[in-house]
Chains A and B, each alone.
Chain A
Amino acid sequence: MLKLNYPLAHINKPLLKTFFCLLLIFIGIPSFAQKKFTISGNIKDAATGEVLIGATVRIKELSQNGAASNNYGFYSLSAPEGDYTLLISYVGYITVSRQIALHKNVALDMVLGARNDLTEVIVSAKGHNNDNVTSPEMGVEKLNMSQINNVPVLLGERDILKTISLLPGVKAASEGNTGFYVRGGASDQNLILLDEAIVYNASHLFGFFSTFNSDAIKDVSLYKGGMPAQYGGRLSSVLDIKMDEGNNKEYVVEGGIGLISSRIKLEGPIVKDKGSFMISARRTYIDAFLKASSDSTVKGSKLYFYDLNAKANYHFDDKNAIYLSGYFGKDVLGLRNTFGTNWGNATGTLRFNHVFNSKLFSNTSLVYSNYNYTIQSFLPGNDFRAVSKITDIDLKEDLQYYINSNHTLRFGVDALHHNLAPGSLTSNDSSSFNSKVIQRRYGLETAAYVSDEWHVNDKLTLLYGARLSGIFIFGPGTFSTYNADGNTLSSKTYQSGDVVKSYFYLEPRLSASYSLDDQTSLKASYNRNTQNIHILSNSNSSTPTDLYAMSSNNIKPEIADQVSTGYFRNFDENIFEFSTEVYYKWLQNQIDYKDGAQLILNQDVESQLVYGTGRAYGIEFYLKKKYGRFNGWLGYTLSRTERKFDAINNGNYFPATQDRTHDISAVGIYQLNKRWSFSSTFVYGTGNAVTYPNGKYAIGGVTTYYYSQRNANREPSNNRLDIGATLEGKQHKKYHSSWTFGIYNVYDHRNPYAITFRDSKTNPGTTEAVETSLFGRVPSVTWNFKF
């Protein structure tokens, strides 16, 4: 039997009881006044048949009655019996109005046409909604793919993660790196989901590119705080990415040919209007350039990545649909015939949507996710092959119950099985190395959640709920405990199926918005998150060989509590959106390493860890112009992120590496005419917190540096300006093409990538600090086509 003695103490029972009582009271209030009916259905793109996520449906006559389509394009809206005008709108699409007679429940699918006419963009201010003000969600950013596609990036490879790092509260790990930090969280504290599958390593080529091929992506949402109860498992953010479903009207081929990579996408109907598929592939060919090199080492090297996204769906009828999607990507790197390494993610998602009735929507998902890497040495006498992998299988049931116009209930369960193989090394008999296998670890993360979006009155909306999350760590395996010096105190061997340890936490998720008027609101939120998968990495950049560890008898789940409050204000018919949010985050059970820790292929890696706390706080300002010829945003963040460990920095708080005092980003996109559009981004940020030497001495004849305080110094600040331009080809009946031009780092500012210290070669007997920077000015050009 499962033993749950200790962890249950964490659950505040009275709180739990009160919560469910309140829930029942709020929802249970029946409305006797009038007979109500429900309109429900799917909202789709007119040209491709793709469902639209987050499109809004409102009743013109009842200003407070509105609904947004969910992640699967489904909406449900209740209103008293009557004749109404429905307004259906979505960013980048022409707003549609429909007359309906609501005398019974109505099933109504709706299609919206994309705007491609410039004039329309300027005129139709009416369709602009103020959801950002009225919704109780805060700390959330939903990005539109067309906006992402216009932001200039390095080497013309447009990228979701790079665009996200231009938002306030989000910071890129370092130049050219797709790792990102949200509100002071570490990069492993982001939950990155691609069609609901966890993506463990979201970067290609050491983080210079992300694993998300923009061609295959439909929708991106980032939650920095106020996480809805259906998400859990990571402390600092949720990045929820949905793949394109494929055009169910006609076959389309599109692609692009760039300087370092090319991509192609094919989509079309399986059965017209019922099912479609999409396949998208991308490959880089930096190694083609290497072959041209005169340098023999460079010439004989392999360096490329590829990835493949595929998705298919079939709608049996109005009420049942099935989706199958997958991602596969791999990086390959080799140095002549000496070393080789490769790594990659594979994910698969099988989803079933079922509409029970006009008010109850169900999504069932079976998800597979795998991340693995291999390092090989082919050197005679030193050959080996080291492999590490993590495999997840996840079963989820999510239900949305549109009770009435005031209450939308969301609830579900989730069971996620982890199989972690931290590492194994194989070698032949003549090698210097022994074969070695680090024991696998098995765990089951379980969660049950419920939340209710409650429109209390015209002004106040609440989104309140809770997630009960737990983890069971299973045998087989030997689990040890360690003393402060890292020596083993005791060891116990468990059999398959034995529960080694379990933890349970109740995570409250609350947010509220109070409208001062149509365009102004105040919001507040509190939420708790816990995390059971941890990256053990002590370098600053995301490396593909990062080691994953699960919570265990030694590693306790990480916990974050965040409170935030914000002021939201729209101007000028909702064309301008302004918001400011203040947050404070408390972190528990954070992980760091002892000095000189050996993390690689170490069975007792947990003996090398130390545990501490952290705090992060800051204020974010965000001004966005969503519509018009000229659009873009301006963000500013003032923040502080600190950690505290008994064994580090004399037990005092020290700035985390990702601490960034000031962070400014500006994005501007200007549509000059039908053919030309221009874009530009500017970023400025305080340098990383780093540890510089406070003195030096000699050991064994070699200059050695003395350090007294952790991260007490700052690298020089970062700043950069990028520009881009897109030239649309002339309209042809059969095909369409465009050119994308870009210049990265226009004024050629060298941003610090690393600062190192060494004996001076020019001035012997002294030492010097050396700054390494990566990219100067980098131009790019890509040709895109579609037919």
Chain B
Amino acid sequence: MQYMKFKYQLLIAAILLIVAASCQKVIDLKLNNAAPQLVIEANLTDQFGPQYVIITKSVPFTSDNIFPPVTDAEVIIADSLGYKHKLTQSNPGVYSIYPFGGISGHTYTLTVQTGGKTYTAKSTMPYPVNLDTLTTKTDVLSNKDLRTVTVNYQDPKDIANQYRFVLYINGQQAGAIFTNDDSFTNGRYVKDDLLQNGIDIHPLDTATVEMECIDKNIYEYWFSLSQQQGNGPGGGTTPANPPSNFNNNALGYFSAHTTQSKSIIVK
């Protein structure tokens, strides 16, 4: 939803212009701590190679960003034909299978058993869309000599497509979540600006973008997460957990997606 992003960024920029006097400070808050929650982050790509499922637990807000791995899980991936493949733990909390790859049009089922409960999610691998080129331009919102990376691709007309982009600058991942579907761009040649302000992008930086074609549930997951990132002046949405495709209240997702990456030197 590029349109959303435009609007949103515009509102933020405008409000900040009005209130040049606005100020930010770090504050201490008393937050309630929930019991640790199970978090499953499972990806299955169309690239034949290792596939990873990472299982951790959430921690209180005030703790360090160290998320305890879940090491006693049994993780099984089943393909459309019902064949089951067991993943093995390669590192604490990291379950993998090698070599393995998904096929477009097939639906996969991931089952995780841990702590006496079974968590299941389904995801369908979409057909790939080619990431045509990456281009850069002067950042439209900043006053400094910064750049914005644009992804360019031809959206197929006949089917509904959803995308996620992951941006890396000099190998460092940008924290912003980029999603797009074709509700406004179906069949168009799309030039999608990856608007963000987490990392300053300068000329001669190396920008890498991974383009994922994702299914509708996973798009809703990422879209919902990206909306909450807008939680600032101008008003984000009321925060809530993004809708997981796992049952039994597990956090996270299982995404069967295609992947393609490109890099450029920023001009």
Interface residues of A (CB under 8 A from B): 176, 205-206, 208, 286, 290, 295-298, 301, 303, 333, 335-336, 338-339, 341, 375, 377, 379, 381-382, 384, 386, 425, 431-434, 436, 538-541, 543, 545, 593, 595-596, 598, 600-602, 657, 691-713, 716, 750, 753-757, 759-760, 765-776, 778
Contacts and interface: CB of A to CB of B under 8 A. Distances in A.
Contacts of A701: 173
A541 B19 contact: no
Contacts of B183: 598, 601-602
A375 B6 contact: yes
27 contacts: A206-B11, A301-B17, A335-B13, A341-B7, A382-B6, A432-B188, A434-B186, A436-B184, A595-B224, A596-B224, A596-B242, A600-B3, A693-B31, A693-B61, A694-B34, A695-B59, A695-B61, A697-B39, A697-B67, A700-B166, A700-B177, A705-B228, A713-B29, A750-B23, A770-B27, A771-B26, A772-B23
A757 B231 CA distance: 9
Nearest to B31: A692
A335 B142 CA distance: 11
A348 B52 CA distance: 64
Contacts of A778: 21
Contacts of B236: 539
Contact of A705 (B57, B61, B175): B61
B23 A375 contact: no
Contact of A770 (B25, B187, B225, B243): B25
Interface stretch (B98-106, B115-123, B190-198): B190-198
B81 interface: no
A704 B41 CA distance: 12
Contacts of B190: 432
B240 A432 contact: no
B36 interface: yes
B92 to A, nearest CB: 14
B34 A706 contact: yes
Interface in B23-82: 23-29, 31-34, 36-37, 39, 41, 56-61, 63-67
Contacts of B66: 765
Contacts of A600: 1, 3-4, 7
A750 B238 CA distance: 23
Contact of B140 (A290, A335, A769): A335
A767 B238 contact: no
B206 interface: no
A770 B26 contact: yes
B34 A698 contact: no
A695 B37 contact: yes
A773 B41 CA distance: 36
Contact of B143 (A295, A695, A697): A295
Q: Which of B29, B36, B191, B251 neighbours the largest number of chain A CB atoms within 10 Å of its CB?
A: B29
A765 B141 CA distance: 29
Nearest to A301: B17
Nearest to A486: B220
Contacts of A541: 234-235
Nearest to B166: A700
Nearest to A542: B235
A767 B65 contact: yes
B191 A432 contact: yes
B10 interface: yes
Contacts of B24: 770-773
Interface in B85-108: none
A434 B187 contact: yes
Contacts of A695: 33-34, 36-37, 58-61
Interface string B154-190: 0000000000001000000101010000011111111
B246 interface: no
A382 B191 contact: yes
B146 to A, nearest CB: 11
Given A598-B1, A695-B36, A770-B24, A377 B65 contact: no
Interface string B113-157: 000000000000000000000000000111100000000000000
Contacts of B232: 754, 756, 772
B58 A691 contact: no
B23 A595 contact: no
B65 A775 contact: no
Nearest to B140: A338
A697 B185 CA distance: 33
B36 A382 contact: no
Which 5 pairs of residues, A with B, have the shortest CB-CB distance?
Answer: A596-B224, A539-B235, A694-B34, A695-B58, A697-B58
Given A303-B17, A695-B61, A757-B61, A707 B184 contact: no
Contact of B3 (A379, A384, A543, A691): A384
Contacts of B1: 598, 600
A759 B238 contact: no
Q: Which of A298, A601, A694 neighbours the largest number of chain B CB atoms within 10 Å of its CB?
A: A694
Contacts of B15: 206
B261 to A, nearest CB: 15
Contacts of B39: 697-699
B233 A375 contact: no
B237 interface: yes
Given A298-B143, A335-B140, A697 B59 contact: yes
Q: Which of B189, B235, B240 neighbours the largest number of chain A CB atoms within 10 Å of its CB?
A: B235
B29 to A, nearest CB: 5
Given A434-B188, A596-B224, A771 B6 contact: no
Contacts of B37: 695, 697, 706
B25 A208 contact: no
A595 B19 contact: no
B239 interface: yes
